[in-house]
Chain A
Amino acid sequence: MKKLLPLFMVLLLLSACAQGISSQTVTPSPTPAPTPVSTPAAVVEGAEPDLLIVHDGEFSGVYASTGEVVYPCEYRYLQSVSSDRVALGRYVPNEDNNYVTSVVAIGDLSGNLLTDFSFRYVEYDGADCGLLYAIYDKDTQKAAILDAKTCQPLLELPSTFNFLGASKAAGTFLLLDYETNTASLHAIAKLRQGSPEPLAELENVAYLRCYDAATGVGLLMLNDGKAAFFGGDGSFETVYVDRVHDEYFGGEGPVPFMKDGRWGYADFTGSAVISPRFDFATPFSNGLAAVLQGGAYGYIDQTGRMVIEPQFAEAGGFAGGVALVKNASGEGFLIDKSGNTVLAGVQYCYALGAEADMAQVEGVQQEDGGRQYWVAANGKLTEVSLGQSTYISSERMQDGLCAISGYDEQTGAVLAALLDTRTGSYIAKPGEYSFFTGAQSPLNSKKPRADCFLGYRYARNVLLCDLFDASGNRILVGLNDVYCVGEAVAAVRKGFSWGIMDFRGQWICSYSIFNTLKRD
């Protein structure tokens, strides 16, 4: 009598038709994918399936949320490089015979490899202009602007050239040659017609501070310390300024700049939208910017109106609805956007997240070395603490949700908690998790998926992962890892299986991890 095997053994046996490594090819890999173990669960009729990056324990691939294999798990590196192109990498030996990751092909979102040559690096044009920038492998030492559709070179360049950005609206892109320190503006249409000559050039360029895809204008830092707005549609006249605020990297609001010793704000046409009239100007955040006037700092709005009168010796940017200011004695305190003091005895205030809708606030250090910590959101403060942690860091996870992490020096434990700043209460209590991270979006998602995130916790020596939704609800718990999250499914590993699991915890498809280990 044949002995009965438990479910997992059946799974292992069924997955015996594991995929192997196919040689590099310009056609889709002929290698059959492992047979899905479980019956596909219900998927939304008519909806375009998510294309998820999956991981078999060693290698990455792309599977549709229906379980269909788009790219088998054969790649060490897999990265979206445009809305419909993906760069696929493997380990290749470098000149020292060490194995490094190299992009070996660019593919579409249907599993077709479009190139038969290797790159060291491939970069997205950032604005879906139909261009890719690539650096070829060590043998050619060349870079190129590729046509994203055909993946063939439109313009070959020395690898000293760097791609700065492209603009659909302006129909141009910017390059910078680090060898000659020359930036060049190119018309996309002309390049496609075979005319690689630049529309304009700018010399003495050190680096790009930020690029505005709406206008095609780059803010370029020059070797003499000055800056220039350069680029546009070909008719734009380069605008030079004496200085740009050191901490402006293309964030909220216009650019704080200095001209003839006075500070103001400019848009990306180089026009002063707030005329240079301040002694110093800082970047906008939460709608306000600190400016120095008459020897004291106040705050202006984006019309240039002074909304908090100059009165502070030092002033930081707003984040979470509060800002750290200091008086002439060096005492730090928080103010709200009306200029009212909300907390005294503050030493640091750090913005969290790109939109600075939260902040980590730290009190002055006490004699015992400890200090108080708060998280600010919408001008409201929540005090946080983690065991005996003497240092706490915070990370914005989602609207209103903030991960707090620290190291308990007494127990040696890495502790994390999940705080709902709207209620001031913990969704996950201190120590329940070790850390939180964001989730990878599907390759074909129209916008970055920011509404799911992951909490990692130890069960003895095994690291387990829980998937949270935007509200902080645990969608899936007790996984070993989550690689990519779609609308209703996630690419995960649980136990001895990896595959795609729906949010009810049912496998859409699953494969044994044992058949996929160590294929290098």
Chain B
Amino acid sequence: MRKTALFALALALMALAACAVTATPAPSATPSPAPEASVDTPAPAASPEASAVTPAPTPDTAPHFTFDEYPAVDGSTANLPLMAAVLARVTGMELADAEAHTTCSTTPYAYESLVNGEADLLLVYEAAEETKQTIEDSGVSLDFIPIGRDALVFIVNESNPVAGLTVSQLTDIYTGKTTNWRQVGGEDNDIAAFQRSSDSGSQALFMKLLMKGRTPMQAPTEFYPTEMGALIEALAEYNNAGNAIGYSVYYYANYMYAKPGLKFLAVNGVVPSDETIASGRYPFVNEFYAVVRSDEPADSPARQIANWLATEQGKELIREAGYVPTP
């Protein structure tokens, strides 16, 4: 098993119950592709907000279960608040109590838990290629239901005068072709380009959305923090912080691990925001998913919750939790 440091606090409190799984031949674990990004043309933003006309109260379509009936849910670190919001909605628990009952094992281990039956439902980002291969090798077929959108965002220290880069400039930085900030309109400083470990959810997005088959340059070990938060800390506290660039997912970096002294780079002139991610104007948008095993019965709690999250009321919950639901 890969030695990836886990979300330490959650892991310290976890004791996952083992349970057998019936493996079925897996045709594919590949999620549906992300929508094409609009690069240059400012697209009319499709407002995610509700109509100005107040609709009549609609019946609650959410499935309701007791905590004992609630499925074993796992997922990505960035989805922890969503996991708590879903638990609160489905069980009627107070949100603070739902948070106390929520933990995750991070993206690669969450997929592992679903495949081996320790989890029944994931709220999760797209898996890295090597995790997808592991899923395929397991023979367990998974169903992916896109429920929300997030984005790969590039972060620099706010002392860096560069406010934005193009996709090709970012590509050149991460393939090692561009090594000095002066080459992209900044000061005469070397670029310290941080990356994440290869099995992380952030790295999977980075490889898919920016690298697109290219091989990123090898960086010093210190430039590969093992945790999402550690990368952001590293960017803020790197000795030459003004030189550093790294990446994360928008929700995590904007809401969960907001750090003073850092800023998001615009890409192709578009600053990442709820609106530009919802509209797809920001170039590096990707879905996150509710994932269940394909053999999960149609009436099982895990399947019911996954399906409900793709409904209008499910999307509203996702929006209320601060995420951008899938259009």
Contacts and interface: CB of A to CB of B under 8 A. Distances in A.
Given A13-B258, A519-B233, A461 B15 contact: yes
Interface in A1-50: 1, 3-9, 12-13, 15-18, 20-21
A391 to B, nearest CB: 20
B97 A495 contact: yes
Contacts of A3: 48-49, 274, 319, 322
Contacts of A480: 13, 100
Contact of B72 (A17, A21, A461): A461
A474 to B, nearest CB: 14
Contacts, number: 120
B320 interface: yes
A478 B322 contact: no
A457 to B, nearest CB: 12
Interface in B85-138: 85, 95-103
B258 A495 contact: no
Nearest to A434: B15
Nearest to B74: A461
B103 A496 contact: no
A461 B16 contact: yes
Nearest to A516: B229
Contact of A16 (B8, B13, B260, B319): B260
Interface stretch (A308-316, A422-430, A507-515): A507-515
B20 interface: no
B67 A459 contact: yes
Nearest to B9: A57
A518 interface: yes
Contacts of A460: 17, 67, 72, 101
A463 interface: yes
Interface in A40-97: 57-58
B227 interface: yes
A58 B7 CA distance: 11
B24 to A, nearest CB: 25
Interface in B1-57: 5, 7-9, 13-17, 48-49
Contacts of B308: none
B314 interface: no
Given A461-B15, A479-B100, A21 B229 contact: no
A479 B226 CA distance: 28
A5 B319 CA distance: 8
Contacts of B14: 461-462
Given A16-B260, A495-B97, A462 B13 contact: yes
A21 B238 CA distance: 12
Contact of B99 (A8, A16, A57, A518): A8
A517 B8 contact: yes
A55 to B, nearest CB: 10
Contacts of A18: 258-260
Contacts of B320: 4-6
A417 B72 CA distance: 27
B140 to A, nearest CB: 20
Interface string A225-265: 00000000000000000000000000000000000000000
Interface residues of B, number: 46
A13 B103 contact: no
Most interface-central of A3, A8, A461, A463 (chain B CB within 10 A): A461
Interface in A179-234: none
B172 to A, nearest CB: 30
A311 B98 CA distance: 62
Contacts of A16: 258-260
Given A461-B103, A518-B8, A7 B95 contact: yes
Contact of A515 (B81, B98, B257): B257
B266 interface: no
Interface in A472-512: 478-480, 494-497, 512
A462 B97 CA distance: 12
Contacts of B225: 518
B84 interface: yes
Nearest to B258: A16
B80 interface: yes
B211 interface: no
A432 to B, nearest CB: 15
B237 A21 contact: yes
B8 A515 contact: no
B13 A515 contact: no
Most interface-central of A3, A7, A464 (chain B CB within 10 A): A3
Contacts of A99: none
18 contacts: A9-B321, A9-B322, A12-B81, A16-B259, A20-B237, A58-B8, A461-B16, A479-B100, A494-B100, A495-B84, A495-B97, A496-B84, A514-B257, A515-B258, A515-B259, A517-B7, A518-B226, A519-B233
- Among all A-B residue pairs, the 4 with the closest Cβ atoms: A495-B99, A16-B258, A514-B256, A517-B229
